[in-house]
Structure 1
Amino acid sequence: MPKIRAESTSRRTRDETAKAASTVSQAIQFDKSFGQHILKNPLIVNGIIEKAGLRNTDTVLEIGPGTGNLTMKLLEASKKVVACEVDVRLVAELQKRVMGTPYQRNLEILVGDVLKADLPFFDVCVANMPYQISSPFVFKLLLHRPFFRCAVLMFQKEFAQRLYAKPGDPAYCRLSVNTQLLARVDHLMKVGRNNFRPPPQVESAVVRIEPRNPPPPINFQEWDGLVRITFVRKNKTLHAAFMSSAVLEMLDRNYRTFCALNNTELPEGFEIKPLVEQILEASGFSEKRARLMDTDDFLRLLEAFNNEGVHFA
């Protein structure tokens, strides 16, 4: 992802720069394929800044800065902002907006698709997320190292609800479990569609994500394999979920591979189904349902399977 640093060619006052940027940005035809909906309400912008708890020593990663309404506030509150933007037209607008201000040296712009790039070092991430990349970006963020302090992110309301939903909530799903394994998620505020230009078709919400440090000592791919099985039909019992032929075939292959790698001889006439049933019964999860289980439940279930050599990745 190429880097651009804003450079000054003339001196303007901060008010003149903001006014010029606003006039030009109104003339831009925003690209819906990039999910471009520019946050225009200064009260929402200030609320996001406050909830991020920024320090003057922080490096902030901003995704989708647009015309810079949020970026300028981030620059005021932090040491440095690294802004990731895929649209070169908006990159030009952002450069113009900081030109001649005290903050131009503190802004670095990365041009390109944030999902395809290595994330730089940062302390805090703040973003008005393009809705179509919400899920992959969340997990790219949570698997990023070194750890960051927190992220304050705006999403489509329904997606945000899935992030912080608790067992028993209608929105509770595989995304909820996977996210809450790796982070604490708090709902901060709702944001109506009229706070954007152009207004999106959906309502939005802002959440705060704080990664768990250290993370649980598990293989995330295997964890996700287990959770994926249980949430195919989250209202069914786990016994019913694990008795599908496709699941049993997959677990049988994995078990045989595990035995081969560990020089363990399979019993004559071995079948995976009785072993899976035994694990579910012994662990007390046979009649449990995924929609009512929390991350601790899934951790205990994964440990019960792994202790018997049954793996999911």
Structure 2
Amino acid sequence: MPKVLSKKRGEKAEKKEATSQSSAAAASRAFGPMFNKDLGQHILKNPLVAQGIVDKAFLRPTDTVLEIGPGTGNLTVKILEKCKKVIAVEMDPRLAAELTKRVHGTPDQRRLEIMIGDFMKAKLPYFDVCISNTPYQISSVLVFKLLEHRPLWRSSVLMFQREFALRLVAKPGDSLYCRLSVNVQLFAKVEHIMKVGKNNFRPPPQVESSVVRMEPRNPPPPVEFKEWDGLMRIVFGRKNKTISANFKTDTVEEMLENNYKTFCATHDRMIEDPLNIRAKIHGILERVGVAEERAAKMDQDDFLRLLVAFNEEGIHFC
């Protein structure tokens, strides 16, 4: 075959491929903006699911709603029908522009405030209810940022990866019961309210989803979270080992001994001489009656009793 003919065929093939890619891109734009997979953008497209989420939020006409990750506004417009105001936090300026255009010239325009930026870095305004369909990679940080927010809000309806949602609601003895379960349930009542399949999103995620409702405990329990979580890190380090076994590691004993000495020094308390921190820890576990228990089977009251007993002896976890 002559080289000229071969070259022409190659050029035709390249042009055909370029035309095909251009057509695909145009078709994609016709159905909405291109989504950024790095930001975990999966837009909820099923209006029945969106309506179900809004219904489960039990919104009041006087409510201010914080919506995290509004996308193109499929949930937003339904929320606006039920409340006084929506504050939508969107990281992607393109999607924020789509949402702005969607409500432009409608009565909803003046009741929608859009904050463009990273939710995790944003200073949150006052809100009554939070509704979120956010990237699953920030699920844990999102939950705790909401729980730390003051003043306390009434409820949050949040979309998560199915397994993460089931961890939030897991009870002692469940296979998914973990440190996350205990930490969240200390500060909030959590309820699984809806399963959402992959095909309800565009583009479909790789995992199934669930929606949970959280209601913060009001007033919150009088527990310092860092102190509480320090204990949880130890007992759930190996949740199916005994509590006693989890405390019998050089790292844990050294950390608690240093914390104990610091506490005694700052509170004018005498330190035993010689100090046997292992015996001291074991004595507390025996007195509370949890030495041979396992974290996987213990509940909030068990952990609270344990934390109080350690603190009364001057042993702290942060």
Provide the TM-score with structure 1 as the length reference.
Answer: 0.92
Name the counterpart of 1:112: 117
Alpha-carbon deviation of 1:269?
A: 1.1
Is residue 150 of structure 1 aligned with residue 155 of structure 2?
yes
Q: Distance in 2 between matches of 1:117 and 1:105?
A: 22
Match 2:190 to one of 181, 185, 189: 185
- Aligned length in residues: 291
Name the counterpart of 1:67: 72
Over residues 33-56 of structure 1, what are the superposed CA-to-partner deviations in whole Å (9 max), with x where a residue is unaligned?
A: 111000011110111011000001
Query: What letter matches 1:139 in structure 2?
Result: F
Q: Distance in 1 between matches of 2:252 and 2:121?
A: 32
CA contact (8 A) 1:25 1:67 kept: no
Match 1:253 to one of 248, 258, 278: 258
Name the counterpart of 1:202: 207
Q: Distance in 1 between matches of 2:301 and 2:210?
A: 27
Over residues 122-165 of structure 1, what are the superposed CA-to-partner deviations in whole Å (9 max), with x where a residue is unaligned?
A: 00000112101100010000011000000000000011010000
The root-mean-square deviation of aligned C-alpha atoms, in Å, is 1.0
CA contact (8 A) 1:52 1:150 kept: yes
Name the counterpart of 1:98: 103
- Which has the higher relative contact order, 1 or 2, with Cα contacts under 8 A spaced 6 or more apart? 1
Superposed, which structure 2 residues align to 1:23-172 within 5 Å?
26-172=31-177
Bigger Rg over Cα: 2
Provide the TM-score with structure 2 as the length reference.
Answer: 0.90
Identify the range of structure 1 (102-111 vs 265-274) with the bigger mean alpha-carbon deviation.
265-274
SS at match of 1:68: coil
Alpha-carbon deviation of 1:166?
A: 0.5
Name the counterpart of 1:265: 270
Alpha-carbon deviation of 1:32?
A: 1.0
CA contact (8 A) 1:25 1:93 kept: no
Residues 68/83 of structure 1: CA separation in 2 closer, same or farther (3 Å cut):
same
Identify unmatched segments of 5+ residues in structure 2.
1-27
SS at match of 1:69: coil
Identify unmatched segments of 5+ residues in structure 1.
1-22
Q: Distance in 1 between matches of 2:30 and 2:258?
A: 56
Q: Distance in 2 between matches of 1:295 and 1:136?
A: 22
Q: Distance in 1 between matches of 2:305 and 2:316?
A: 14
Is residue 296 of structure 1 aligned with residue 301 of structure 2?
yes
